[in-house]
Amino acid sequence: MISSTDFRTGLTVEIDGSAWQIVEFQHVKPGKGAAFVRTKIKNVEDGKVVERTFNPNEKMPPAHLETRKMQYLYEADGAYTFMDTETYEQTELNKEQLGDALNYLKEEMEVTLQSFKGRIIGVSLPNAVTLKVTECEPSVKGNTATGATKMATVETGYEVRVPLFVNEGDLLRIDTRTGNYIERA
């Protein structure tokens, strides 16, 4: 059991049967009355962030999140199939379960699936992925000093702002946390 006085940013606890991650916490000792812990917690299943206060003697169990390395295989009729790299067991996910990860997902990519009590709650991608530009305006010579950008569509269908010198067919590194262009690969 974890006491609310032991809260740390990133800690995952189980509250009312759901897994919650501590986003922010603050130990408060008012002049009058008992101390308490003010927190911002995020539901790891749906991403909802809530503010909540806890008594310092309140205890809750740690949430055990299981992680498995998986390889993305293919998409068929809105079902995205992943294969466990050790057991070769296959799992299907839908668009809602994948969320923004769908923008960066390409076949044979290694990802980490997180599950809580047997339910898949999230997909962790590498911090950066390399994707090929399939569509963008032609590059303009000499216009690199202003930092101007244009839109480019990559092989997954995701649109990203890129510098003017990027052409169709270029390989780009994109940050999966922010969705921003990093560099040409």
What CATH number is associated with residue 38? Answer: 2.30.30.30
Burial environment of residue 20 by CB neighbours within 10 A (0 to 12, 13 to 18, 19 or more)? buried
What CATH number is associated with residue 148? Answer: 2.40.50.140
Q: Residue type at 25? A: F
CA atoms within 13 A on the CB side of 97: 17
Which two structure tokens, joined as six digits, stand for 149? Answer: 């950008």
Do residues 75 and 25 both lie within one domain? no
Q: pLDDT 10s per residue in the chain (185 long)?
A: 888 888 888 888 998 888 888 889 998 888 888 889 999 998 887 778 899 999 888 899 988 888 899 999 999 988 999 999 899 999 998 888 888 888 999 889 999 988 888 888 878 889 899 999 999 988 766 656 667 888 999 999 999 999 888 889 999 999 988 889 999 88
Q: How many domains does the chain have?
A: 3
Do residues 114 and 133 both lie within one domain? no
Containing domain of residue 16, as a range? 2-60
Domain boundary among 124, 139, 163: 124
Do residues 80 and 42 both lie within one domain? no
3-state secondary structure string, 47-96?
CCEEEEEECCCCEECECCEEEEEEEEEEEECCEEEEEECCCCCEEEECHH
Cβ proximity of 160 and 133 under 8 Å: no
As a whole number of angstroms, the distance between CA 153 and CA 162 comes to 10
